[in-house]
Chain A
Amino acid sequence: MLSLGSGGAKSTKPSFVSYVTPEEIKSEKEPQKKERHPNLLPGEVVFCSTNPILKYTQDDISQRGIFGTLLCTNFRVSFISDETPQEEPTQHFKNKLYGENDIPLMCVDCLYGVYDEKKKLITGGMLKNKYPSKMIIHCKDLRVFQFCLTFTKEEEAKKIFQGIVHHCLEPKSLKCVFAFSYANTKGPEMQRTQRTLMFDSQEDWSQEMKRTKGNCRIVTENQNFELSERLPKYFIIPAAVSDDDLSKFPGKGLPIWCWSHHSGCALFKASSLPVTQEDGVAQAWMERMLHAVAQTHLYSVKIEDLLETLPNIQDIQQSYTKFKQFFLIDNSTDFWMSDVKWFSSLENTGWLDIIRQCLQKAVEVVECLEKENTNVLITEEEGSDLCCVISSLVQIMMDPHCRTLTGFQNLVQKEWVAGCHAFLDRCNHLHQKDKECQSPVFLLFLECVWQLVQQHSPAFQFSETYLTVLSDSIHVPAFGTFLFNSAFQRESCLKATLQHSQRGPLSWPAVWDWSMQFDCKAQELFINPLYAEKLKQEKVLRKVPRIKHQRQLSLPSSAFKTPPKKGFFKDEAESLKKMLRVKRFSRWMVPPDSPAVATRQFYEAWQQKPLDYHGLLLPCLDGPAMRLWMQRYLRWTPEAQILGGGSVAITSKLAELLGEVRALQRELAQKGWWDSMGEGHHRPQTMSLALVRTSLRLSSYFPFAASRNWSFKPVIPTGLLQSLMVTDKLASQEDETNEVISLV
């Protein structure tokens, strides 16, 4: 794959729209001898490349680095070192699609240029004739790259800089996304072999309804998106909704079934009605919908407009933009500077608070379903952002199936992908100038799940590494999963390309086919060794009361009872008025007090009961319980590594023990002594023993950044004195004072 313009690349040419300038093609055809190229993926084409470029090594404040070639392809920005690659240390966790010096184009977050020692943000439209001496790339997976352009010829430097700016920042059309070139190479049969349900067929939906024992009906009228382009091909609605109502407003305001509780009540989500409707019409219609929902179970319904109490997508975007800055660290000085006001800086971004609010809202919905067995309808403008967050979280808390790896993937596929979350707009994959629509809603969901995983690890089959990798995969343009705004868009793209192509139907690989990115060994790290599998024999055992929840077997005495919660889930009439309001106020900074108290009580009541990892799971929402997702956010920061430490020590030890138990079971099973147990024969064997032995040399952010050679030097903060300004008079006081100072 070293020669450019080779057969593979050329043959794909008709299928994608080339936006390469003739010069670029020319340069691509006359590669310098010195340059080396990465192993290009099928369908990958190099746009431009330059040598020599100096890449600064991140874990070193001195401005040292390595020389190499910088390239820009239709898939990635890539740096290839001139140094002959050393014998790679055994990498446990290597991504097959891109290496540690590759940045998929979609993964580029921001580009900075250093002009005369000044760091400037580069935007797509600006004049690019003047190229910077140094280029800093901030990635969406929080890596930071720094390249020095001054060692190469001026023309070359300009070309690579312009190329990268062009491909990473300027608006492009969907068809230029690498997935469209890549898709051709994969046979269409791939997807069907996976166990993850895609929810693009009637069977998947009916299977899901059967699994949860739901009693609603599947709508097939949208097969060709005649009802709505913002709804999946198939969806489920309350049985009582009439066919007339189905087509009244194109897909708007319909209560879409999400999940059924074993009691019979169910969770529905809906988008708001178009605001142009006359009040009367809309109100009457909504009332009919509510009645339909109510009829699902016991004639009860609670309605909740998520935007009334939760931050909107702009708030989320704003908060995350502030938040991520604290992890995109350019150098050691910045690191220790931000260490000083770390906690208040984090708090000021509001990100952890948004996570808490989403979890809190989900707990409120869970309470309605679980405690009161009431149907719940959650609504939102589009019905595909916060509705997805809340409905998915509710399902994870209530349905243990969603806490298995497959179940979780099914859930994401059901609520988010088939559920028409606008991934393309929210992730701004196409670098649209108008950033109104951009918002990390899906990441917010993963953050919430991470908090749950953190708090109740044995309840989840997947590990935090899995979540981190999934959050990275959003920005890998090789998959179709997170590429589209809706099922309709996906289908129409498929049809459009079909007309221009002679090579049969396109099929984008799903991100769930993890073997595309990782080998089997690396995939083992997706499995949580702490997961308490549900075993038939152990079912009874598991219910043995656990001490940690054996508090308060009865509720607090009446003396301290909080008033019954009210005014949160509004009664129907009031909420109808609310739903029709044109303007929404973002009141999320001051959430009303009563639901928090009610949730707290619900949590405490749950906490007293014996913990069942295969039953209801609630998160603790108190301030100290909300944690930072260290693995995702700090994994590339050399200053934040704990050498020879971190959770890998625990995980590897558990995995080792688990492996031994399995081996013993197998041994016994072979002898026919133990087949009654039949435990976990199908589960992948977790990490090898070797890992345990080497864990001393691993850093806390294993498996990420594992191939880097961390120097075993302690990281000693610079400027200690500045870090703590105690201006107190106490500071100057002598240790051995005999005076008694008053302390009040």
Chain B
Amino acid sequence: MEKSGSVDSLGSRRSSCVDSLSSSSTSRSDRSSLAKGPSASVNDLSPEVRTPGKPSTKAFRDSGKDDPELLPKEVVQIVAKDVTYICPFVGALRGILTVTNYRLFFRCINREPAFLLDLPLGVISKVDKIGGASSRGDVSYGLVCKDMRNLRFVYKPPEDSLQKSAFDVLTKFAFPNSNNLPLFAFEYDQVFPENGWKVYDALAEYKRQGLPNESWRISKVNDHYELCDSYPASLVVPVTITDEELRRVAAFRAKGRIPVLSWIHPESQAAVVRSSQPMSGVSGKRCKEDEKLLQAIMDANAQSHKLFIFDARPSVNAAANKMKGGGCESEDAYQNAELVFLDIHNIHVMRESLRKLREVVYPNIEDSHWLSNLESTHWLEHIKLILAGALRMADKVESGRTSVVVHCSDGWDRTAQLTSLTMIMLDAHYRTVTGFQTLIDKEWVSFGHRFQQRVGHGDQNHTDADRSPIFLQFIDCVWQMTQQFPAAFEFNEYFLITVLDHLYSCLFGTFLCNSEQQRVREELSKRTVSLWSLVNSQLEEFVNPLYVHYSSHVLLPSVSIRHLQLWLTYYIRWNPRMRPQEPVHQRYKELLAKRAELQKRVEELQRDVANRASVSSERAGSPTRSITPVQTFV
């Protein structure tokens, strides 16, 4: 039962003996690499097609035609026959709908090849009953999904009121939080060879960065989340600031999110520091401990006598925040500090932008107005501003050797985007698979990006104004960088898509809850499985074969809109014509295989020659070495 995914498949299922390495172009032979694991292919890029007779199809075939393969602890809740799925690309399809406590599974029976739809209930953000029952008693349902799709079903609910309607059951299990049910992640108990909860260890990561050192210490002041309930337990602060002073700073910073170090440059000691806005308010309140702290941050870097404070917001928003007691640092109070606004808009603007994007890309695209429609969503402009902000920060740290402090209002949305992108630009470690996992665990999960609120796991309140695609936007920015630097990242596009799919799936504990405090309280690491367990157990699927590790290579992406593209293989992956076109990785893999084969032959030949040489050397005493050893590279 490893198939945990939505396959909006028009085709029959045939085993793809395909390389899963090519991120963009392939579907996954998900069963092959980890027989029992839930497949990573929650959303296949190109729905796979399986032929009968291939070994990998066995499980599928055996399990019977109409049933999904269930995950551990997954239980079928209802099976409804005679449901019609209105596919926007193929048309109306009649079939059987199965709802479990984890997924929606639809299979069209009277069609060869069969049509499958398989999606985790977590991606559903809204179940709509469209209009009343028709004369025949049919009711139309619309499912709005978090992954850009809208699904339409037509179904005749049972007339017998004692019988449950499939869509009522679906609604119940799609929104467990609203129905006093646990999220499926708490039931799922798959065991993986790797334990993803062990990937990130705050102290180990700080140690990698060379911390603590003579200027920075690791403070335990937040050990019990008393200083700040949305911050992690371990915080890196300047040695010259006492815990008592930190408490006073916490009173001055919104939600107690004090300036703490995220990353330090190994050579220049310039630091990336994150915080929330100062509570200076209309009257321009000051806090001498806060001023001292920023001064200490500047002093910790001997190479520069300046500090840049990046306020991610547009300046008007920062000004508006003063009315609510917030605001920004005044340059009078903070000597030697320069305040820069990055003009990135708030979560509501981003949510609206994605809503418009969905309208433009799903289900049909207006070809001749594609570009202007895309522009009108502003999605790529937001991406541009975020990348540009991170680029400016990276530039100050790298070329200016200056420490930077970044904050927005609360310091858990835009701030997380900016620090993590800056760190990816500056530190090649975060471009590896485990490094990237560390980065997400550190800058997003432990520093309190409110995943529960922003995604709305299991919650039926789809209009919740706290929902916003902030993390999606970050992954999109990373994807833009992988496009500009195709050899600089160890992970591939498929990895990024997998991360996003499981952001919504509620299968893993990684993206649950709002803060480290909540996670500890919920005992997530005991009660749920980490997404990284899955990823690290079948790593080869997520690796970019073109990756070259340059340890000291700083990436400075172009932020011109000319170089930003819409991530078609994510946003438009449901459109069958938008299949990824270019399997560069596939060609590369073919060559790798060919090289391996040839190398083997050369080695055989060498051995052969050596054998003959040893024979002849017995006779003549002069071994011949005509063949140079084959060099391996990469």
Interface of A toward B, CB cutoff 8 Å: 335-336, 339-344, 346-348, 352-353, 356, 454-458, 530, 532, 544-554, 556-557, 559-560, 596, 600, 603-604, 607-608, 620-626, 628, 630, 634, 639-647, 649-650, 653-654, 656-658, 660-661, 664-665, 667-668, 671, 673-674, 695-696, 700, 712-717, 720-721, 723-724, 726, 728, 730-743
Contacts and interface: CB of A to CB of B under 8 A. Distances in A.
13 contacts: A344-B375, A454-B582, A457-B582, A551-B46, A644-B485, A674-B601, A713-B395, A715-B559, A717-B384, A723-B384, A724-B378, A726-B349, A736-B466
A664 B3 CA distance: 41
B497 to A, nearest CB: 15
Nearest to B566: A624
A596 B367 CA distance: 11
A658 B583 CA distance: 16
Given A623-B365, A715-B559, A717-B560, 11 more contacts: A559-B91, A604-B577, A622-B367, A654-B587, A668-B605, A713-B399, A714-B395, A726-B345, A728-B349, A731-B314, A743-B463
Interface in B590-632: 591-592, 594-595, 598-599, 601-602, 605, 627, 630
Interface string B459-490: 00101111000000000000000001111100
Nearest to A641: B558
Contacts of A695: 487
A743 B468 CA distance: 13
B78 interface: no
A624 B370 contact: yes
B49 interface: yes
A549 B11 CA distance: 10
Nearest to A664: B598
Contacts, number: 310
Contact of A353 (B368, B395, B484, B580): B368
Contacts of A343: 371-372, 374-375, 380, 561
A661 B320 CA distance: 63
Nearest to B568: A624
Contacts of A700: 484, 558
Contacts of B392: 714, 716
Given A342-B562, A551-B47, A739-B465, A642 B384 contact: no
Contact of B587 (A342, A458, A626): A458
Contacts of A336: 560
A12 B464 CA distance: 82
Interface in B46-87: 46-49
B505 interface: no
Given A608-B11, A730-B352, A740-B464, A723 B381 contact: yes
Looking at A608, A661, A700, the one whose CB has the most chain B CB atoms below 10 A away is: A661
A556 B352 contact: no
A323 B552 CA distance: 40
B199 interface: no
Contacts of B10: 551-552
B532 to A, nearest CB: 27
B258 interface: no
A743 B627 CA distance: 71
B578 A624 contact: yes
B355 interface: yes
Nearest to B394: A714
A696 B550 contact: yes
A547 B49 contact: yes
B19 to A, nearest CB: 9
Contacts of B90: 552, 556-557, 560
Contacts of A604: 576-577
A630 B408 contact: no
Nearest to B414: A735
B91 A552 contact: no
Contacts of A551: 9-11, 46-47, 49, 576, 579
Interface in B346-397: 346-349, 351-352, 355, 365-372, 374-375, 378, 380-382, 384-385, 388, 391-392, 394-395
Given A550-B16, A620-B581, A642 B410 contact: no
Contact of B372 (A347, A454, A630, A645): A347
B485 A731 contact: no
A740 B627 CA distance: 75
A673 B602 CA distance: 9
Contact of A532 (B342, B410, B587): B587
B502 to A, nearest CB: 22
B281 interface: no
A422 B392 CA distance: 51
Nearest to A650: B486
A692 B568 CA distance: 29
B464 A735 contact: no
Given A551-B11, A661-B594, A624 B365 contact: yes
A458 B588 CA distance: 11
Given A547-B27, A667-B602, A723-B381, A456 B581 contact: yes
B118 interface: no
B112 interface: yes
B520 interface: no
A683 B577 CA distance: 35
Nearest to B46: A548
A715 B558 contact: yes
